[in-house]
Structure 1
Amino acid sequence: MNMHVNTIEAFLEALVKELEVPEHRYEQAQTSYTSLGEWLHRPESTVRQYDPLVYCQGSFRLGTAIRPHTDAEEYDVDSVVELRSLTKRDKTQQQLKAMLGVEIKAYHDAKGMEKPVREGNRCWVLDYADGAQFHMDVVPAVPNTEQQRSLLEARMLDTRWASTAISITDRREPNYWVLSEDWPRSNPKGYSNWFASRQAAVFERRRRAILETMQKQGFRASVEDLPDFKVKTPLQSAIMILKRHRDNMFARDLDLRPISVIITTLAAHAYENQDTISGALFAILDRMDQFIVRDGRKYIIANPTDPFENFADRWEREPQKAEAFFDWLRQARADFRAAALATTYKDMSDAVYQRMGYRAATGAVDRLTGGSRLLRAATGATAVGAGTVTAPSFANADRRPTTPKGYA
């Protein structure tokens, strides 16, 4: 069976437009953590001597954030405050978090923020005004380069990402109140650098194309003038689509919902620099389970920047989470194959709306047709002059190899 490749590509592009975070939200997030960084470096700051560095992590850093379902929901902006002149020998986790908490609360008061500062297990939470529609999680951290490099070298593992490793606080940890070298590890910079490496060639091509377009329009644009969030790659777009599909499939059972870092990691491993969203999406759906390792009874999805961290560690204790992931993957394959085989924009929307959401699916069609009923019902191939290729065919059985491919 054939699919109209240009048509499904147009539909997926429109679908991503429905999911995209508006640029002003990225700018707003950047302004917020920049402001916090300036606050921590002011002359009166009680942590200034420790050389604090504030940076973004998570989906906003990766460019895979999706807009909330409704205006009543908030964006979750994750940030890190790394005190670069402190070590785990200087403070306990509790002391570090409390020390930073004093400054976070002072910042909150100085900025006239109405909602109180909240404490999470790993972070402090700043809730911005209702109109801002976001909150910022602030995770305290110290460098962990030396210990991480030593751990990796002892096992003869890749150390290329160790220079950005950090240790973070978590009040659930048994060593939270005592001086210890045993802190939770993280490496958001390293992970984002690894993620960027998986799409580097396509990213650069797209960035150059955007710059050339701007220059033709009379703008004196340079690479420095173009923030990364203005460049969207097929990998990022495919992950956004898969995350929304996941969200709606598990809307009534959030505990079973596959976590974003698993989807993002497997998708980045499976991506092979496809230039189209459809090419990326179908390659990812076809291949992503090949990067799940089955070690006896245990599933392993290693953090590519820290092989000691298993993103699927809960699957062993809660096997229903593994089942939920494979159920979701089968459903995603079925839904997007049906969309690829459809010949009208309406049929594409009908194939995915239950998991993508009615608002996003119909909004994508309206973007393509201008709301015209005639164009909705017209064949997509006629509407865009499409060629055809063989529709994606996914394996019926889950493929769970014992050796991962492509791990850093």
Structure 2
Amino acid sequence: MTNDPMDVLSALLAGAVDILDIPDDIRDAAVTRYEHVGTHLATSGGPEWSIYPQGSFITGTVIRPPTSASEYDIDLVCHHDIEKESITQAVLKKQVGAMLEEYYDLCTSEASPYAPDDYFEKRRCWTLAYDGVGFHLDVLPAIPDLGLKRSRNGILLTDTKLRPWQHGNPKDYAIWFRNRSEEMRRKLELKARAANVAAVPDWAVRSTLQRLVQVLKWHAYLAFADDVDDRPPSVLVTTLAASAYRGGENLGHALLDVVERMPDHIDQVNGRWEVLNPAHEKENFCDKWNEPDTAHRRLKFMAWHKKVRRDVKLAHDTRDAGIDVLVDRLSASFGQEVLRKSAARWAATTTGLRDTGRLTIAASTGALGVGLGRRSPTHTFFGREDS
């Protein structure tokens, strides 16, 4: 701890993110199952088929579902190494569906512990449901995007409602995201050295950038709880946050700076709104803002950004009023249950400092710190003294 009141806000939000993060057992179960599916695809279809994660799972920014009835949604790319001229979207989608049906039947007949509970088709993917484990895998059929000259990692994706192939580049996007944070790269290198391996996945560490993305995503989840269709896409929030991030390892300070600067990375070109994929210039993460039926989503995004900016500013202005005040002020936007649990954990970590007389309270503000002000009295929770 330090005597910087902003550290109390950082500790509160970081603790909330720890609670919201995907549990190790669910993450490990997801990895085991998509590797099992991938092995089947390679065996059934041949070496030109592969499967790998994309999105929040690969960047290490997954957060728990907003309701107890929801599941973790994990995106996978099912990659068929074939040229665009040799296949159509419909055929590729059907091929992947057939192999997943074969996989489902095989696992079910063998009573495999990795058997999905169900599988079904969606607009851009096939879904493998694992109800008993609390997540589902969305499998997106893809082929190489040979038109992306700067990288071999570009992909073309299917969409049953759109004629053109959709562009993407999840592998290089993850690299771009990692490179936005020197702290993240440093922690990954240390983790790899400790494990004596060449590299470790991004979710193996927690950096300030990852945490602030998770904080913003959770805020959006709650703000759009009754309007899920218009909720800003996770990748849009992640891209704007990572683009605006200028380093720093204090979550409170970084979040305040990032939220202020996010709109600077939204462009309007020839009357069209753009937040381009930094790893593929043909993928626009806010393309729905340019379509008549969904143009209202830009206004809803801006209204959400105004709200999160106001909430973060309120937290900043209240940062030296004590953790109980912070919890009360932020509960409406970030969830009372999560914040109270975070505050309780934070309070528990201060017990040792308080018992040794190192935890103090600033006379003018009541802020907790180390080595300054008067000694903090013993308490049970939120400042209530023991009787």
Whether TM exceeds 0.5 here: the answer is: yes
**Runs of 5+ consecutive residues of structure 2 not aligned to the other structure:** 109-114, 355-360, 373-387
**CA offsets per residue over residues 101-153 of structure 1, 9 Å max, x none?**
1110111122224633200111111111x321011011111111x2222xxxx
Cα offsets for 1:303-337 (capped at 9, x unmatched): 21222332222223344212211211121121122
**Within-5 A mapping of 1:2-401:** 4-42=5-43, 45=44, 47-48=45-46, 51-84=48-81, 86-112=82-108, 113=115, 115-128=117-130, 130-144=131-145, 146-149=146-149, 159=150, 162-174=151-163, 182-199=164-181, 201-207=182-188, 221-224=195-198, 226-295=200-269, 297-316=271-290, 317=292, 318-342=294-318, 343-370=321-348, 382-385=367-370
8 Å contact kept, 2:49–2:80? yes
Matched residue type, 2:92: L
Q: Distance in 2 between matches of 1:381 and 1:209?
A: 38
Query: Is the contact made by 2:188 and 2:199 (CA closer than 8 Å) also made in structure 1?
Result: no
Q: Percent identity?
A: 31
Distance 1:236 1:265 in 2: 11
Contact 2:323 2:343 in 1 (8 A): yes
Amino acid at match of 1:254: V
CA distance in 1: counterparts of 2:104 and 2:212, whole angstroms: 37
Compute the TM-score of the two structures, normalised by the length of structure 1: 0.79
- For 2:27 and 2:221, how far apart are their aligned partners in 1? 21
- Indicate conservation of the 8 Å contact 1:258/1:325, yes or no: yes
Read off the aligned partner of 2:370 and give its amino acid letter: G
Cα 1:204/1:225, change in 2 over 3 Å: closer
CA offset digits 1:259-278 (Å, max 9, x no partner): 11111111111111212222
For residues 264 and 386 of structure 1, what CA distance do their matches in structure 2 show? 38
Q: Is the 8 A contact 1:142 1:168 kept in 2?
A: yes
Amino acid at match of 1:69: P
| Matched residue SS, 2:12 | helix
**Contact kept in structure 2, 1:117 and 1:126, CA below 8 Å:** yes
Distance in 2 between residues matched to 1:61 and 1:187, nearest whole Å: 12
In terms of mean alpha carbon deviation, does 220-229 or 55-64 score higher? 220-229
Ranges in structure 1 where 5+ consecutive residues have no aligned partner: 150-158, 175-181, 213-219, 388-408
Q: Normalising by structure 2, what TM-score?
A: 0.83
Structure 1, 132-141 or 107-116: larger mean CA deviation: 107-116
**1:6-27 Cα shifts (integer Å, max 9, x gaps):** 2122112212112111122222
Across the aligned residues of Structure 1 and Structure 2, the Cα RMSD in angstroms comes to 2.7
